[in-house]
Structure 1
Amino acid sequence: MKQRALWSAVLVAGLALAGCGSASESNSPSGGSTGKLVVWDWKSGDATAASYIEKAKADFAKKHSGVTVEFVAQPFEQYYTLLGGAIQAGKGPDVMLFNGGGQIRDRADSLLPLDEYVGADRQRLAGWDAFAKDSKTYAAPVTLQGHPIYYNKALYKQAGLDPERPATTWDEFVSNCAAITKATKAKCFAQGNKEGIGIQFFLSGLGSGILTAQEYDDWIAGKRNWNSPNVKRVFSLWKEVNDKGLNNEGANSTAMFNDAFAVFQSAKASHVIGLMSDIGHWKDFAEFLEADNVGVMKSPVVTAGTTPSVPYDGGIGYAVAKWTKDPKVAADLVRSLTSTDALKAFYADAGAIAADTTIDVSSAGPAVATIVSETKAGKPALHVALSSKTIELMGRLSQQLISGSVTVDKAVTQLAASDKTG
């Protein structure tokens, strides 16, 4: 009860902050804007994002010097609950941060389409599709997010394997893992599924090596055949990997953030399906393993004839609330938050793979070079195409698959029903 009361107090406080007034056009001779814009996110409180926020605010001030911008950093664990309360009340922040995919699409009715405001940014930024619904764009991408398979080159060397030639087939991959475990005692995968998140990484990280190109495209387009043998193979392989001891012990009781990543960083596992940006990514891993020891590979081929790729989408992006008083001013703030100078700072300090395709990343090391080069042929991440409702169900079922309390067929039947109802 105390925890619930605490979050209720936080929500009320947040709404009070957001209710301080949107920016609006003034009647001053200069024709400028006055007032305040309130931004909700979970990034602005991070030390690594400080330079990014300052650059964005400075860019915005050049256009709207009379408008104050206030960032309210919310805890990510409760972010969408708090945001849901604000949306239900019909008031709250003017600008808000979203993950791409189901989280923003489920709330699109409360957001302002940005298509008329983004202009030339369309060409400079990548990842727009993750923030679109029914041919309308609801946020501008800040980062690209995807799920590369990272591997520890030092462990490969200790096992007598060539670290520059990771496996291209599943059988070869499992064989390499066995050799590494024998030589170093390191498990094959660092896996954390306490939150039910591990299955999302697994689906998107390995999916391009399991689904045919047509199945993959159909999945993204919403024409998902859950009874396909290859779709079922995703979930049977998920169980098989754990049953055969390829994961670290206690995957269902290990938090993805940050315990599973710590298993990889401490060289207790040779591989992890991580992120491109934010956390559990190349910059984090390089601090522990050294940049030259961080490898990136595509999914090995599980189904013959597939063409593996590194999946990616728009990672996070800023949207504008429908209730903001001056949409153009709020949209200008979004443009400042996605300006090249701001995103350069985010890349340099936080290790984000920025959505800005003009930023030079050539000095960041081999892992980043591989990630960026692979995005040219990468397809959207499979889990991002699912609704938040189906994602939550998949997380629960993934835990039951590992524990043995549900079969693959029953899990897939439930997922198909959830996907059908939205």
Structure 2
Amino acid sequence: MPISRRALAAAVTALVLPLSACGSGGGGGGSTDASGKVEGDITFQTWNLRANFKDYFDGLIGDFEKKYPGTHVKWVDQPAEGYADKISADAAGGTLPDVVNVSPDLVAPLAKAGLAMDLDKAAGKYKGEYLPGAWASHQVPGMSGTYAFPWYLNTGPMFYNKALFKKAGLDPEQPPKTYDQLFTDAVRMARTSGGKVATLANIPTIEDFGRYGASLMSKDGTGFTFNDAKGVELLTKYKELYDAKGLDAQALNATPESAGKEFLTQAVAMNPGSALDLDNFKKQAPSLYKNIGITDQITNTGHVNMYVMGVMVNSRTKHTPAAVAFAHYVTDAEHQMSFAKKVAIFPSTAGSLDDPYFTKEDGTDETRVRIAAAKSLKNAVNYTPVLFSDQMKTALRNEVGKALQGKQSAKAALDNAVTACDRLLKQQG
């Protein structure tokens, strides 16, 4: 499965939004009545899953068809490359499958075009089966309704280097939990190391502003608001951290890969990661591995960031009861749990994260990270606004970089970023 799918939204936005003139624009051009008999032929489209999970989906579909003898599900799996273009072409040509694997940023333009069914209307009775934050993740600012069932979730804890914390005179068993604690510890580490050890290798992203407590977007979806007092406060503190050398010198140009390398070589003390990273540490950096600490993401809100995948129902489906029933079947607690045991993801269904699989230690690295992540996901939030595009991410990054370098104030940087993002938002339609 691809690691990042958000970049694919641009093609959908460009090609699908013009369809809103012929759609309802409010969440579906077809019936949302799913109360009828579950029968008929439907098509289910996934996103780069067949190669590794063919047996799982063949079994799931077979079980569904046995439960509802009058149904037939055709499974279509698309490659990661060009997935958004494929959705766009199908939407434009009227051949969008009945049930579609989407991310929140891909469902937004389809919802605006009236092609995504409002599940608050069609399947509201199932809402309580899912974590509140997961159900809300496929809602679109400025529109009422929910436009996909939440499927699997992902997140990652923060790794930290206990040896570096101890060397700086910090308690290695008490890593920072809030941004204030983070900045205090980071300045101390920079000073005690003579500027040789930074705590972080990344500049703040939109998720950081959300975790800090800044407002990110207006409720009606017409503009961004991360230039509020909280947003300015966060960037000001990052500027102070940058000046104190608590932020890695290469942070302005860092990628997840380069930031990971800085942590691996023990040039920085904290970095987000996954179980795959732990295995890498064990093989490539044994001295780091023996001193590794695992903690929650830094947050002032008490809610970590999560990434969520969903299953959308085409509002134009000719078999609403069957399409809704199947989308729910794919994402119900039983099937999410079985899927989570095959791949490193987490179920979005309420109560599933209390399963021993996500709570009981067995001494392995994979389980250590899985338990830490699962614990934090119960009340996690998808902070990235569904309308926040890659172009907007670049605009924010550029302005933040100028502020950190002292070329403009934190307030001016965020004002400029909001202006640029609002302009891009209007271009989306």
Deviations 1:115-169 (A, max 9, x none): 3443553222111111123331210111235575443446545656433311252
Give the conservation status (yes or no) of the 8 Å contact 1:131–1:138. Answer: yes
Which of these residues, 172, 175, 180, is aligned with residue 184 of structure 2? Answer: 172
Superposition TM-score, scaled by structure 2 size? 0.68
Cα separation, 2, equivalents of 1:46 and 1:260 = 30
Residue type at the aligned position of 1:129: A
Partner of 1:105: 108
The offset of 1:318, in angstroms, is: 0.9
Partner of 2:338: 345
Which of these residues, 173, 179, 200, is aligned with residue 189 of structure 1? Answer: 200
Runs of 5+ consecutive residues of structure 1 not aligned to the other structure: 1-6, 12-30, 275-279, 301-306
The offset of 1:51, in angstroms, is: 6.5
Residue type at the aligned position of 2:400: L
Please give the residue correspondences for 1:1-400 in structure 2 after superposition, counting only pairs within 5 Å. 33=39, 35=41, 37-42=43-48, 44-45=49-50, 47=52, 53-54=57-58, 56-64=60-68, 67-75=72-80, 78-100=82-104, 102-108=105-111, 109-118=114-123, 120-126=125-131, 127-133=134-140, 134-145=143-154, 148-153=157-162, 155-156=164-165, 161-167=170-176, 168=178, 169-175=181-187, 177-178=189-190, 187-191=198-202, 199-205=205-211, 207-208=212-213, 211=214, 225-238=225-238, 241-242=241-242, 244-248=244-248, 250-256=250-256, 258-264=257-263, 267-272=266-271, 274=272, 280-281=273-274, 283-289=275-281, 293-299=292-298, 307-312=300-305, 315-359=308-352, 360=355, 361-363=358-360, 365=367, 367-376=369-378, 378=380, 380-384=381-385, 387-389=387-389, 392-400=391-399
Structure 1 residues 397, 313: CA separation in 2 closer, same or farther (over 3 Å shift)? closer
The offset of 1:333, in angstroms, is: 2.4
Cα separation, 2, equivalents of 1:88 and 1:314 = 28
Give the conservation status (yes or no) of the 8 Å contact 1:397–1:406. Answer: no
Structure 1 residues 289, 90: CA separation in 2 closer, same or farther (over 3 Å shift)? same
Residue type at the aligned position of 2:144: S
Cα separation, 2, equivalents of 1:117 and 1:265 = 48
Partner of 1:27: none
Cα separation, 1, equivalents of 2:192 and 2:243 = 18
Deviations 1:11-46 (A, max 9, x none): 9xxxxxxxxxxxxxxxxxxx874545140424x146
Structure 1 SS opposite 2:174: coil
Structure 1 residues 154, 298: CA separation in 2 closer, same or farther (over 3 Å shift)? same
Structure 1 residues 89, 270: CA separation in 2 closer, same or farther (over 3 Å shift)? farther
Cα separation, 1, equivalents of 2:62 and 2:267 = 44
Give the conservation status (yes or no) of the 8 Å contact 1:52–1:342. Answer: no
The offset of 1:335, in angstroms, is: 1.5
Structure 1 residues 326, 200: CA separation in 2 closer, same or farther (over 3 Å shift)? same
Cα separation, 2, equivalents of 1:159 and 1:345 = 44
Cα separation, 2, equivalents of 1:324 and 1:181 = 62
Superposition TM-score, scaled by structure 1 size? 0.69
The range that moved more, 220-229 or 307-316, is 220-229
Structure 1 SS opposite 2:324: helix
Structure 2 SS opposite 1:137: coil
The range that moved more, 406-415 or 86-95, is 406-415
Structure 2 SS opposite 1:349: coil
Cα separation, 2, equivalents of 1:93 and 1:180 = 59
Structure 1 residues 174, 249: CA separation in 2 closer, same or farther (over 3 Å shift)? closer
Give the conservation status (yes or no) of the 8 Å contact 2:190–2:197. Answer: no
Structure 1 SS opposite 2:205: helix
Residue type at the aligned position of 1:57: I
Give the conservation status (yes or no) of the 8 Å contact 2:103–2:309. Answer: yes
Structure 1 residues 351, 230: CA separation in 2 closer, same or farther (over 3 Å shift)? same
Structure 2 SS opposite 1:189: coil
Give the conservation status (yes or no) of the 8 Å contact 1:263–1:269. Answer: yes
Give the conservation status (yes or no) of the 8 Å contact 2:156–2:297. Answer: no
**Once superposed, what is the RMSD of the aligned Cα atoms?**
4.0
Cα separation, 1, equivalents of 2:408 and 2:55 = 47
Residue type at the aligned position of 2:45: V
Identity %: 17
The offset of 1:320, in angstroms, is: 1.6
Structure 2 SS opposite 1:62: helix
Partner of 2:415: 413
Partner of 2:15: none
Cα separation, 2, equivalents of 1:200 and 1:398 = 9
The range that moved more, 345-354 or 135-144, is 345-354
Cα separation, 2, equivalents of 1:182 and 1:50 = 54
Give the conservation status (yes or no) of the 8 Å contact 2:207–2:383. Answer: no
Residue type at the aligned position of 1:330: A
Number of equivalenced pairs? 361
Partner of 2:34: none
The offset of 1:326, in angstroms, is: 1.7
Cα separation, 2, equivalents of 1:267 and 1:51 = 42
